Structures are given as structure tokens and as C-alpha cells.
Amino acid sequence: MNDWYLGIDLGGSNISAALMDSHGRMRQLKKIKTLAHEGKAQVISRLVELARAVPQEANLKTQNLRAIGLGVPGIIDVPNGVVLYSPNLPGWTRVPIRRALQTALKKPIMIDNDANVAAYGEKWLGAGREVENLVVYTLGTGVGGGIIVEGNIFHGHNHAAGELGHVTILPDGPRCACGNHGCVEALVSGTAIARVAREALKKSSDSLIYELCGRIPDDVTAKHVFQAARKGDALANKIVTQTGQYLGIAVANTINLLNPELVIIGGGVSGAGELLLRPVRAEVKKRALKDSLAATKIVVAQLGDQAGVIGAAGIAMLAKLSRNSNPKRRRTA
């Protein structure tokens, strides 16, 4: 009698899938390689294969799988279920992925941008439970994000909203992957933190970071910086504080614009926890309007790298009711 939902997180390197029930209990989790270089058709058949395998491995009756949710990196036409463009998936331009999956799997399918889906995961079962208006920053190699308004993913006019990583906070700052200068992503991503550390180490190796990266500045990562900061290294602490200040400017801006109840910081970089959040909060306090600020908490994400699959199962639950599904197929399922 249980209703189950399959969440799939399609990434440039891996595809993860999880079976979840409507109460948020996870039954099965599986991860395979994306092998994006093999091309679009191959990735889609691997997706279909995974979507069939996971319910089977869980001995789930077909009729108990209600719907499938999918997070895809890139620009998504949500109502039509089309991947317009994906920087991480070569050749993915105008791919009607929902139709392809519906034809193969005979289930209602909901797709959305991967960062939006991860944000929705944190709202459903993570740090944002029972909060209706929140913003999620995902700090990794890049900086992604999602805005949740009244419990739903905020999409904007043509489904491109929520690009929290591409807000300019330092007009003459470092160049961003998007072509702009001084974006949040260019200042607080793991890549940005490593770049700052690398440049500093090339000037002076007088830091624990130098030892942690095996005395090869080109191998330094954000993780090395946070490890060194925790041990009291001066350079590392300076970099972490500066990173937190930049992130704090971004968060304060978001608070003044959107007045969310909660700001969640997730992604690999957020593993630094309070070390990073302390300077974030200090900067936000300086810059956010006090009426908005009083209402807003800033916390670390709770779902780690499962936010994507969990959120994807979460949006699958919406597919049941939404026009972003195909009722005819459902009846034949």
C-alpha cells in the first residue's frame, strides 16, 4: 500500500538514485558513473536502466512507484521537461528528457535544475524542515543555489532564477567561470579558496597549508585550507575569514532582497562549519537591515551530498499533482 518515489541526481560524474516514501524514509540508494563523454543517448539509457534497477532491487511492485524526480545540472525548461543546456553534460542542448523517460518508464516525471532540487531536499528533510521561505547556497567547485518561496522552488520568468553564485559582490574582483568579474562563485567556491591559497603559497611557504598540500602549491585544495585553519594557521585563518566575509556580503544581500526565514549553507565547503559561518554571520550583521536580519537564521546544510537525490524524490511527489507530468501515461502505467 506504500507510495514510493524515485529521486535521481544526474551529475557530470555520477548518477545517484534513491527510493523514498512520502514520509521521507529512504529505502534504497544507488550510484553509477555518468560517463557523459559517451554521449546523450548513452547517458539516457543508463538513467533508464538505473530507474528500473533501483525499484527492482528493493523488490518494489511497479504500481507502488508513483513518480520519478530528476535533477539535472544546467538550464531546464521545467514545465516542458526539457534540458535546454547543460555545461556539465556535453551535447545536452534542448533534450526533451521528460518525454524520453516517460516513454521508457511509464511514470510521471518531474525535472528541475540540480541546485534547485538540492535546495528542495534541504527544505523537505534537511535543515529547512518546516520552513517555507529559505535560500540554500551550495558551495563546491562552483557555487549553486536555490530559492524556496512558500515551500516551492522559485523559478522566475523562464526558470533561470536562483543563481546565487553569480551575484557580483566585488565589481573589479577575480574573473568568474561565467565571464563576469567578482561573482560570489569567483570568491567563495572551493576553486576560489584554493586559488587564493595557491597564490599566497607561491609568495611565502610559511604556512601549515604548504605541508598539507605536500609542498606543491598547485595541489592545494579548500580542504587543506580549512584543516590548517582548524590548527590555528595564520594564513589559513586569514583566507577563511576573507571567504566568510565575501559570503556574508552575498547572504546579507539575499536577506535584504528576499527576507528569508533561513539561509542554509551547503556543499563541500560548508564542511568547515562554524569556522566559516562565524565570519559570515559577523559580516551579515554589519550589512543586513535589522528587521530582516532579526528574522533570519544562518545554518549549515544537513543532507550532505544526498540533498540532490532526496530533493529529486521530493519533486517527484509534486509530479503526481502537477501538470509537469503526463496523466495519460500514468493511467497506462
* CA nearest to 309, candidates 20, 66, 106: 20
The nearer residue to a second copy, 180 or 237, going by C-beta atoms, is 180
Question: Is the Cβ of residue 163 or residue 233 nearer to a second copy in the bound state?
Answer: 163
Residues that bind a second copy (CB under 8 A): 75, 84-85, 132-133, 147, 149, 154-164, 166-171, 178, 180-181, 249, 252-254, 256-261, 286-287, 289, 291-292, 295-296
The string of DSSP letters for 180-235 reads -BSBHHHHHSHHHHHHHHHHHHHH---SHHHHHTTT-GGG--HHHHHHHHHTT-HH
Instruction: Provide, rounded to whole angstroms, the least separation between the CB of residue 40 and a second copy.
Output: 20
Nearer to a second copy, 47 or 78 (CB): 78
Nearest approach in angstroms of CB 325 to a second copy is 21
* Nearest approach, Cβ of residue 39 and a second copy (Å): 23
Burial class of residue 304 in the structure, from the number of CB atoms within 10 Å of its CB (0-12 exposed, 13-18 middle, 19+ buried): middle
Task: In angstroms, give the least distance from the CB of 57 to a second copy.
Answer: 38
In angstroms, the CA 130 to CA 149 distance is 12
State the alpha helices, DSSP H only, in the chain. Answer: 40-57, 97-105, 114-125, 184-188, 190-203, 208-212, 222-230, 234-258, 274-287, 290-295, 307-319, 327-332
Shortest reach from residue 130's CB to a second copy, in Å = 13
Whichever of 203 and 290 has its CB closer to a second copy, that residue is 290
Nearer residue to a second copy within complex by CB, 186 or 220? 186
